[in-house]
Structure 1
Amino acid sequence: MAEAWKRHDPQLAEPMMKRALAGDITPALLDVGEGRIAAMDDAGIDTAVLSLTTPGLQNLPAAEAVALQVAVNDGLAAAIRRHPGRLQGFATLATPAPAAAADELRRAITELGFSGTLVNAHSGGRALDADEFWDIYEAAEDLGAPVYLHPRAPVPSVTDAYYRRFGEPVDSMLATGTFGWHYDAGLTVLRMIIAGVFDRFPGLQLILGHWGEVVLFYLDRVAAMDSLVTLRRPIADYFRTNIFITPGGIASHKYLRWSRETVGAERIMYASDYPFNRERAGSARAFLDTATSNTAERELVAYRNWEKLVAGIRRDGARDRTVRG
């Protein structure tokens, strides 16, 4: 993957590629073995769900992306086999070729034993609500496999208009991990809802990091659109039935309280965002232990919600269903 990124973007213009390949974080990203297990032990994390970092395969030509998705997923599966019980995986998909991506998702779930897939908020400049990507959502729903929607840097025209002026590294961080990509990913989720993705695939389960990518905090305002769109339910309802929320490395009890009040503890799952956020010794368990005195809620967030979600995956293939009109 590193070589493919460099071939297509030798200057590493996409901010997260530069950070992943030319920064001090590279060794930790590449370590899917003993070093990662040791970091998990130090933080108090029993199980990590691994995924390829943004932008994944979504900035590559379709043919190359299709070839690489198999290699990436096979490599991740091998790492998981070396550490059973400690590591799980999200499939990497060639979103520039959605039909092939859907087929690979089926293989990753039924043959490799993965726990879902991770996709980044746009592919080839196209937001993931576009009809061309619905093959992926259909496969995910059929398999009962969750889709983690991860941010990626906004398209260049947006980045140039909103996130340039201050020089590096400020421009890149403004466009990505501190502000820009959260709004971009939150808008992607809203577009998916408004486009009818969850009405067409009511069993689809999406995971949003960083406490819901900003949009969770604006649902009361977003409700003004309910009378303007043709959906089966109010927009906010989809966040309580089809979307799970994780901290994505933002260890904020204040955001946890808001999220719990907005969607309920049954829709929140702990996530650390390693290695972009380096956990301090015992920090994962400390965050949860001090979050609430309610043991049942703490267990839901720590592991029960995830275990219930993964238990619903159909690893023997898609369920029987009627053909959708």
Structure 2
Amino acid sequence: MVNVNSKDRLPLIGIEEHFITEEVLQAWHEAELSATDPSLAHNAGTIGARLLDLAQGRIDLMDEAGVDVQVLSLTTPALHELGPASVDIARRCNDIIAEAIARHPHRFQGLATLPVSDPEAAALELERCVKTLGFKGTMLSGRVGDRNLDHADFMPIFESASLLGAPILLHPRTPPAAVREAYYSGLNPALDTALATYGLGWHYDAGLQFVRLMVSGIFDRLPTLQIILGHWGEMVLFYAERLSAMGRVSHLNKTVDDYLKNNLYVTASGMFWPHFMEIAASIVGKERLLFSTDFPYQYRPGNDARRFLNECGLSGEDLAGFAHINWERLTQHCGSRT
């Protein structure tokens, strides 16, 4: 549970808050990922410095925004393109986060960084992170090479998460080059990159990964598995009615609505528009709303996070749930099921 001094002040937990390490930056550079993933350019300058900071500078910005706890996750594209070397890199990343949590136990929590190109090793690392390091789940950043997350190769990761009671945050990543060329090019270089990443492409990509997992039957095989989508559902919730029609051809055990209400949580990711929250709540339920700021990408000064909490339109138990209780409830048995 989160400690707060004031009895009148709700604890505020941001569950999608990112970091980077120098080792990962170097590994991306050596793999020449900047040539294939334009999103890496977003991790420079002030944002890059904030991603690297796991100490007082980050905490000062949290205090200014009104955030009590950040749940730390390695920013996109994580280790998805780093091959066998990612096994050791993942372990060191997770140890760095565990050390930061140990230094500031009331300010930081962690989501595991996984070597997803080796799913068996990733499943074992998730178990270590949850059971030994006390992490609260993991984050996956979309495709791995040319394989979508519903590929059979990745089942060990999802099985491990389900067994451990560890939620999985599905995070956006840049669409493949062929998709960018077909749909996100021809404007100008800066606009092409923006449209393919934070403007639209990231969010379609993350939402599509969830839809593919759902219609592939993953929740029928793993009914307790819990997935989190940022940015109020990465487009998915706004097309829930259309997606429900896929039940006719997907041969699932339940309706799409059932999976959205029982296997999906959604978080704000710094998109502080109350009407988006209203739509999300009407589909998944208020008990499945989670707070986040998408630090440092959506960071805005001036107590911005606390202001949205106070003005979002929720009250009483619903407000407390959004601020911290829904997350605490989701993760209370993480690591204790096995």
TM-score (norm 1): 0.94
**Within 5 A, what are the aligned runs for 1:89-128?**
89-128=110-149
| Alignment-derived partner of residue 179 in structure 2 | 158
**Within 5 A, what are the aligned runs for 1:10-29?**
11-20=34-43, 22-29=44-51
Query: Does 295-304 or 10-19 show the bigger shift?
Result: 10-19
Secondary structure in structure 2 of the residue aligned to 1:51: strand
* Structure 1 position 10, deviation (Å): 6.3
Aligned: 1:262 with 2:286? no
**Which amino acid in structure 1 is aligned with residue 249 of structure 2?**
L
| Alignment-derived partner of residue 60 in structure 1 | 82
Whether the 8 Å contact between 1:205 and 1:244 is mirrored in structure 2 is: yes
**Within 5 A, what are the aligned runs for 1:223-234?**
223-234=244-255
Calculate percent identity across the aligned residue pairs: 41
Aligned: 1:41 with 2:47? no
Correspondence for 2:225 among 193, 200, 204 = 204
* Structure 1 position 11, deviation (Å): 4.5
Secondary structure in structure 2 of the residue aligned to 1:303: helix
Pair 1:164–1:293, CA change in 2 (3 A):
closer
Correspondence for 1:167 among 180, 183, 188 = 188
Secondary structure in structure 2 of the residue aligned to 1:312: coil
Whether the 8 Å contact between 2:36 and 2:177 is mirrored in structure 1 is: no
Measure, in 1, the Cα distance between the counterparts of 2:321 and 2:206.
25
| Alignment-derived partner of residue 239 in structure 1 | 260
Pair 1:201–1:293, CA change in 2 (3 A):
closer
**Stretches of structure 2 lacking an aligned partner (at least 5 in a row):** 1-23
Higher RCO structure, 1 or 2 (CA under 8 Å, sep 6+): 2
Measure, in 2, the Cα distance between the counterparts of 1:132 and 1:13.
24
Q: Deviations over 1:133-177 (max 9, x none)?
A: 110011001110111100100111111111111223211110111
**Stretches of structure 1 lacking an aligned partner (at least 5 in a row):** 320-325
Q: CA RMSD in A?
A: 1.2
Whether the 8 Å contact between 1:99 and 1:135 is mirrored in structure 2 is: yes
Pair 1:91–1:10, CA change in 2 (3 A):
closer
Whether the 8 Å contact between 1:210 and 1:249 is mirrored in structure 2 is: yes
| Alignment-derived partner of residue 286 in structure 1 | 307
Query: Does 241-250 or 5-14 show the bigger shift?
Result: 5-14
* Structure 1 position 280, deviation (Å): 2.5
| Alignment-derived partner of residue 176 in structure 1 | 197
TM-score (norm 2): 0.91
Runs of 4+ in 1 over 4 A off after TM superposition: none
**Which amino acid in structure 1 is aligned with residue 142 of structure 2?**
A
Query: Does 70-79 or 289-298 show the bigger shift?
Result: 289-298
Measure, in 2, the Cα distance between the counterparts of 1:19 and 1:54.
10
Count how many residue pairs are aligned between Structure 1 and Structure 2. Answer: 315
Secondary structure in structure 2 of the residue aligned to 1:182: helix
* Structure 1 position 23, deviation (Å): 3.7
Whether the 8 Å contact between 2:109 and 2:135 is mirrored in structure 1 is: yes
Correspondence for 1:73 among 82, 88, 94 = 94
